[in-house]
């Protein structure tokens, strides 16, 4: 019996030990399916950043929608390496050592929407290097060594909206056909910090307004050309963000040497001899339209020839294509015209029409600058009947007051309170008339030094027809005038009369 008890205790201890060893806390996590070594795989994210990889891992999980291979040492990409990644939407290949892409590098990336190739060693972009990226919307190629772009390098990118080519070595760029890019979807084109020294101004002026707002040309050795200066100056006055936000970094070379670089918008003295009409002759101004809140508005896409395809860009940078509508307020009709059923405040801004057709040599654009006004309240109608009735009532009240409220004559006994009657003043004396005409103060004559100046001094101007001395107006000075003792009044001749005739004596009253 004791042996059985001891054996049972040993079995319990053994089972407890085995259970503790097999607890879930000590189990190693299962490795994700096809997750490369040292990479992090979670849900649809795959990160192999900063691992020093020289080649892309051979096996990649098919569920990856966001693949990060940045900050490695990749030098090339195998053709067709994206075939297993049918769900891939974002691919990050920045900060590697890619010197070239090659044909077929992205042939299986039909679903890719964002591609980051920045901070590599790319020098040339070939015609077929980006084939297969039909759904790509954002392409980052800045901080490379790109010096040449094939004229059809971006022809496969039909819906690209943001292209970043800054910090490269480009000396020219075709703004006529944008190296195969279409202007329908493109919103941002960054060409800053390159070596662009020749820019066709006429091609810049022909770009649609929404692309001008996202065209970055700062920090380039641009020529100090009158046409280019006035075009950029007009863009700056219109408030285009690409020029306004980097105004200090727009420079030009005055004498074709790096030391002669001046700022466009701060040292404009070198453009004083340029005519301001050059910019208006190059760039077609937008058509100004005014609409009131709540009204309807229709915009026509005026082109030189019938257009095969018409698209519109709203002030909110939204693409509107016929036949389609957005939230019921804006609709593009089959003939290419744009209709706003009920004009609201958000409809104010620039509407751009893009037209493409076989007879149109270039994609033509037509711009409308819509200004929305609030309706003015209508003035209230003038009610003549009310005013007539009010006038009759006021007139009746005045008549009653005149009939039953006679003026007060003396202090009547019937009144319970004393009447305050007006007292007419007595006729003023000649002395008062003389005193009433005084207006200018005079000082004591210098020939009476013993007498002090009084504070009651007046200079009296007498009428010329009544009293005069030798044809001059007589002045009277009243000193210490006393209303009850007028005998102290002394009238003296004016200073001009005294100086002209020495025989005349002051007039005493």
Question: What is each CA distance from 162 to 128, 149, 151, 177, 379, in whole angstroms?
Answer: 19, 17, 18, 16, 51
> Could you give the 3-state DSSP secondary structure of residue 180?
helix
Q: How many residues does the chain have?
A: 509
pLDDT of residue 122: 96
pLDDT band for position 463 (cuts 50, 70, 90): very low
pLDDT of residue 334: 79
Written as six digits, the tokens of 125 are: 């972009």
DSSP string spanning 4-36? HHHHHHHHHHHHHHHHHHT-GGGSPPPPPTTPP
- Lowest mean pLDDT, pick from 44-53, 65-74, 113-122, 404-413: 404-413
pLDDT value for 71: 97
Contact assessment for residue 141 and residue 116, using Cβ atoms and an 8 Å cutoff: no
Beta bridge partners of 311: 321, 354
Residue of 256, 125, 165, 252 whose CA lies nearest to 201:
252
If pLDDT is split at 50, 70 and 90, which confidence band does 324 have?
A: low
Which of the two residues, 223 and 324, has the higher pLDDT score?
223
Q: Collect all residues with Cβ–Cβ distance below 8 Å to 486 and sequence separation of at least 6.
A: 431, 509
Query: Token match 């100004």: residue?
Result: 288
Q: 64: how many CB neighbours lie within 10 A of its CB?
A: 25
- DSSP secondary structure code for residue 416 in this structure: S
For residue 275, pLDDT beyond 80:
no
The residue that leads in pLDDT, 377 or 167, is: 167
Is the model's pLDDT at 303 over the cut of 90? no
pLDDT > 50? residue 158: yes
- Enter the tokens of residue 109: 């990336």
pLDDT band at residue 207 using 50, 70 and 90 as cut-offs: confident
pTM: 0.60
Q: 309 or 247: which carries more pLDDT confidence?
A: 247
Q: Are 122 and 169 in contact (CB under 8 A)?
A: no
Q: Judge whether 210 and 228 are in contact, CB under 8 Å.
A: no
Q: Which residue has the higher pLDDT, 402 or 9?
A: 402
Query: What is the model's pLDDT at position 472?
Result: 45
Report percent pLDDT > 70 for the chain: 63
The tokens for 370 are 């819509």
Point out which residues pair with 253 in neighbouring strands: 223, 261
Task: Centre a 10 Å sphere on the Cβ of residue 46 and count the other Cβ atoms it contains.
Answer: 25
Q: What pLDDT does 44 receive?
A: 92
Strand pairing of 309-313 and 297-299?
A: unpaired
* pLDDT of res. 427: 52
Alpha carbon distance 339, 374 (integer Å): 19
Higher pLDDT, 322 or 311: 311
Answer yes or no: is pLDDT of 410 > 80. Answer: no
Q: Which residues pair with 458 in a beta bridge?
A: 478
Residue 183: pLDDT band (50, 70, 90) is confident
- Confidence category of residue 330, pLDDT binned at 50, 70, 90: confident
Query: Hey, which residues does 312 pair with through a beta bridge?
Result: 320, 353
Q: Looking at residue 443, what is its pLDDT?
A: 44
* Confidence label for 389 from pLDDT (cuts 50, 70 and 90): confident
Identify the weakest region by mean pLDDT among 34-48, 133-147, 389-403, 431-445.
431-445
Q: With H, G, I as helix, E, B as strand and everything else as coil, classify residue 192.
A: coil
Domains along the chain? 287-373 (2.60.40.10), 430-500 (no CATH)
What is the C-alpha separation between 480 and 462, in angstroms, rounded?
19
Place of tokens 């195969």: 180
Tell me which of 255 and 61 has the higher pLDDT: 61
Contact 209, 352 (CB under 8 A): yes
Cβ pair 436, 429 in contact under 8 A = no
Share of the chain above pLDDT 90, in %: 27
Q: Is 236 helix (H, G, I), strand (E, B) or coil?
A: helix
């Amino acid at each position: 019996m004791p042996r059985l008890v001891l054996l049972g205790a040993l079995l319990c201890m053994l089972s407890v030990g085995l259970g503790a060893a097999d607890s879930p806390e000590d189990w190693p996590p299962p490795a994700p399916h096809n997750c490369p070594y040292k990479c992090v795989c979670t849900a649809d994210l795959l990160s192999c950043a900063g691992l020093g990889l020289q080649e892309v891992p051979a096996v990649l999980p098919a569920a990856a929608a966001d693949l990060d291979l940045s900050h490695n040492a990749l030098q090339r990409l195998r053709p067709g390496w994206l075939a297993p990644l049918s769900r891939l939407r974002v691919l990050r290949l920045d900060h590697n050592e890619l010197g070239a892409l090659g044909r077929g590098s992205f042939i299986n990336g039909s679903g890719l929407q964002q591609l980051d190739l920045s901070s590599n060693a790319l020098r040339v972009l070939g015609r077929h290097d980006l084939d297969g990226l039909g759904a790509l919307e954002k392409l980052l190629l800045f901080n490379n060594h790109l010096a040449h772009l094939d004229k059809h390098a971006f022809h496969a990118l039909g819906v690209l909206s943001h292209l970043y080519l800054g910090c490269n070595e480009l000396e020219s760029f075709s703004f006529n056909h944008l190296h195969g890019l279409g202007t329908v979807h493109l919103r941002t084109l960054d060409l800053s910090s390159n070596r662009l020294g020749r820019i066709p101004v006429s091609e810049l002026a022909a770009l649609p307004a929404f692309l001008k707002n996202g065209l970055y040309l700062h920090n380039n050795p641009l020529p100090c050309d009158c046409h280019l200066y006035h075009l950029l100056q007009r863009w700056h006055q219109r408030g285009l963000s690409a020029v306004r936000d980097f105004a200090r970094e727009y420079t030009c070379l005055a004498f074709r040497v790096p030391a002669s670089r001046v700022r466009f918008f701060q040292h404009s003295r070198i453009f004083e001899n340029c005519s301001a009409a050059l910019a208006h002759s190059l760039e077609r101004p937008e058509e100004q339209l005014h609409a009131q809140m709540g009204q309807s508005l229709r915009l026509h896409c005026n082109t030189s020839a019938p257009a095969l395809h018409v698209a519109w860009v709203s002030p909110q940078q939204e693409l509107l294509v016929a036949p389609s509508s957005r939230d019921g307020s804006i609709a593009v009709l089959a003939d290419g015209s744009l209709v706003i059923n009920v004009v609201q405040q958000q409809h104010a801004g620039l509407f751009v029409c893009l037209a493409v057709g076989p007879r149109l040599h270039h994609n033509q654009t037509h711009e409308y600058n819509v200004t929305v006004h609030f309706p003015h309240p209508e003035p209230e109608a003038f009610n003549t009947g009310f005013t007539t009735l009010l006038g009759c009532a006021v007139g009746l009240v005045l008549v009653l007051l005149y009939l039953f409220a006679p003026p007060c004559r003396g202090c009547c006994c019937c009144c319970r309170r004393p009447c305050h009657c007006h007292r007419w003043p007595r006729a003023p004396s000649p002395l008062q008339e003389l005193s009433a005409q005084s207006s200018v103060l005079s000082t004591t004559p210098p020939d009476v030094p013993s007498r002090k100046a009084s504070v009651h001094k007046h200079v009296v101007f007498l009428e010329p027809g009544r009293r005069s001395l030798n044809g001059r107006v007589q002045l009277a000075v009243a000193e210490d005038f006393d209303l009850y003792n007028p005998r102290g009044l002394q009238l003296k001749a004016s200073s001009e009369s005294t100086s002209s005739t020495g025989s005349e004596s002051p007039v005493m009253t």
